[in-house]
Amino acid sequence: MRLTSLKIRIPVVLILFVLIAFLPSCAKKKIYSEPGASAAGSNGSRAGGSDSYGSGSGSGGIDEQALKGGAAGYDQAGGAASGSSLGGSRESLVSEDIYFEFDSAVLIPEAREILKTKADWLRSNSGISIIIEGHTDDRGTPEYNIALGDRRAESVRLFLESLGVASSRMNTVSFGEERPADPGQNETAWAKNRRVHIEIAR
C-alpha cells in the first residue's frame, strides 16, 4: 500500500523539483524547500491524500504564500537561497536531495537526472569536495538502516564517479534513521527521509 502511493508521489515531487530548478524566480522564493515539506509540516493528516498543490486552497494554482508558511517549520533545504550571490547549482547541490524507494539503494531515473546536473557542476568546480550523507526512514532496525544508508551514499558516490567526479573529492557517511528530514510517522515523511543529502566539505 505504501509502495503504491510512493510510486505516485515520488515522480510528482521530483518533477516539481526539476521544474523548480529551472525557474530562478521560484528558487529565490524558496519554493524548492518542497511541496512535500509543506504538506507534511503544516498538516500531517494530508499524508498520501493528494499529490496536487491546490487541494488545500481549492484553487489549483501555486499559492506562494501558503508554501512559504508551510515551509517555515522545515529548514532542511534552501535556507540560504534568498539573496545569495552564489550560483544556483552550488545551492542546488546541497539543497536537492536524492530520494529512494523503501528498502532500496537503487537510483531511480529522476535521481540519476538530478545527479547528472550535480556532476556537471562538480566537474566545473574541481576545488570542491563533498560529503555524501545516506539517510533512511525509521521503518526497520537502526543497524540495518545504517547499512542501507551506507549503500545509498555508496550508490550516489559510484554514480558521480562514473560521471567523472574524482573519487578523492567524495566522502560518504551513513546516518541511517538517526537524522530524519521529517520526524512524522506517515508515508509523506518516510518518503522524504529516504534520501541522500550532499554537503560541501570544509
Which of 82, 141, 166, 200 is the binder for other proteins (CB under 8 A)?
Answer: 141
Which of 12, 72, 108, 147 is the binder for other proteins (CB under 8 A)?
Answer: 147
Cα separations in angstroms, 44 against 20, 21, 40, 137, 162: 24, 26, 5, 16, 39
Tell me which stretch binds other proteins (CB under 8 A): 34-42, 111-119, 121-129, 145-153.
Answer: 145-153
Cα separations in angstroms, 46 against 39, 58, 101, 110, 188: 6, 14, 20, 24, 9
Q: Least CB distance from residue 32 to other proteins, whole Å? A: 27
> Does 176 engage in binding with other proteins (CB under 8 A)?
yes
Tell me which stretch binds other proteins (CB under 8 A): 20-28, 35-43, 50-58, 133-141.
Answer: 133-141
Which of 22, 143, 168, 202 is the binder for other proteins (CB under 8 A)?
Answer: 143
> Does 198 engage in binding with other proteins (CB under 8 A)?
no
Per CB under 8 A, contacts with other proteins among 99-128 are 103
> Does 154 engage in binding with other proteins (CB under 8 A)?
yes
> Does 7 engage in binding with other proteins (CB under 8 A)?
no
> Does 178 engage in binding with other proteins (CB under 8 A)?
yes
Tell me which stretch binds other proteins (CB under 8 A): 60-68, 93-101, 171-179, 188-196.
Answer: 171-179
- Long-range pairs, 12-19, Cβ under 8 A, ≥24: 12/51, 13/51, 13/99, 13/191, 14/99, 14/110, 14/111, 14/114, 15/110, 17/96, 17/110, 17/114, 18/110, 18/113, 18/114
> Does 174 engage in binding with other proteins (CB under 8 A)?
yes
Q: Radius of gyration (Cα) for the chain, nearest Å?
A: 16
Residue for cell digits 550560483?
87
Site residues for other proteins per CB under 8 A: 1-2, 103, 139-144, 146-148, 150-151, 154, 172-176, 178
